[in-house]
Structure 1
Amino acid sequence: MSILGLDYGDARIGVAVSDELHLTSLPLRTIENSCLEEVLEELTDIVEKHDIEKIVVGLPLHMDGGRGERAEITEKFVDDLRENLHLPVILMDERLTSAEIEKVLLKADLSRAARKRKRDKLAASLILRKYLESID
């Protein structure tokens, strides 16, 4: 069984999946976040296709560790995931993830448009990788 990683955002949700041994995290895709029902349908398909046992969602905390509006919105989404997908959902601190991803994308010398297309699924992959490293 694999683990799903999500980077939840207002416009898009980055999706990554682990291998069955939980050693690697692979960027999978980006889901447009325009309708919760459609998002849940797409995630249900991914869960079934990849035999997902649990979900890790990045929690956007302030640098001091405090929770703001973004964290509350993400926690509401997590509640929706638990209620609809019936899987354990773990929140993972995602502080500095965006900055780390942006450095990698800039180093790869990608255009602004290419960086935008890749950013969310790479962030999901990094969040999932950090979780996998924490359970070793």
Structure 2
Amino acid sequence: MRIMGLDVGEKTIGVAVSDDLGWTAQGVDVIRRSTPDRDFGRLQTIACDFDVERVVVGLPKNMDGTFGPRARKCQDFAQEVERRLGLPVTLWDERLTTTAAERTLLTADVSRRRRKQVVDKLAATLILQAFLDAQRRNSHA
């Protein structure tokens, strides 16, 4: 079963997809947001191309665990994903994921321009990989 992970931002949506076994996440796209129909159309295409059966949307909680305006926007987005794509959606705590992605790219000495192009895809990959790892741990418990 393939799972799609999303890092939802104001300007972009980072997209990652798991392998068939649900062990690893790979970044596949960064969608430059324009209109909801276009954005969800692209997500639908990716979901179909990869036979996605579930979607994980990063939920940017505040450091104290509360929900701010960005988290509420992501919750609304997740509901719209579920409605438009007809797939079950899980919200996943993504605190510091973008920071970790940026740090990884800095460590790899990726140029500033290139970092801007891939940070959202890497953040989506980290969100999805954390979800997959947790699922695997829970299935062995």
Does TM-score exceed 0.5, indicating one fold?
Answer: yes
The equivalent residue for 2:98 is 98
Residue of structure 2 in register with 1:121 after alignment = 121
Q: How many residues align?
A: 136
* Structure 2 residue 84 is the aligned partner of structure 1 residue 81: no
What's the % identity of the aligned pairs?
Answer: 45
Once residues 133 and 17 of structure 1 are traced to their aligned partners in structure 2, the CA distance between those partners, rounded to angstroms, is 14
Hey, what's the Cα distance between the residues in 1 that align with 2:97 and 2:74? 16
Aligned to 1:48: 48
Q: 2-side partners of 1:29 and 1:86: how far apart?
A: 21
Cα distance in 1 for residues equivalent to 2:122 and 2:133: 16
CA distance in 1 between partners of 2:82 and 2:103 (Å): 33
Show structure 2 runs of 5+ residues with no match: 137-141
User: Unaligned 5+ residue runs, structure 1?
Assistant: none
Once the two structures are TM-superposed, the CA of residue 122 in structure 1 deviates from its matched residue by 0.3
Higher mean C-alpha displacement, 49-58 vs 94-103: 94-103
Q: Structure 1 residue 15: deviation in Å?
A: 0.2
Distance 2:133 2:111 in 1: 31
Q: Name the SS of the counterpart of 2:30 in structure 1.
A: strand
Q: Distance in 2 between matches of 1:63 and 1:119?
A: 21
| Distance (Å, rounded) in 1 between the aligned partners of 2:99 and 2:9 | 15
Deviation for aligned residue 1:33: 1.2
Q: TM-score, normalised by structure 2?
A: 0.95
Cα deviation 1:27-83 (Å, max 9, x = unaligned): 101001121110110011111110000000000000000000000111111111111
Corresponding letter in the other structure for 1:26: Q
Q: Report 1:1-136 matches (<5 A).
A: 1-136=1-136
Shift of 1:98: 1.4
Distance 1:76 1:49 in 2: 25
CA-CA distance at 1:129 after TM superposition: 0.1
CA RMSD of aligned residues (A): 0.6
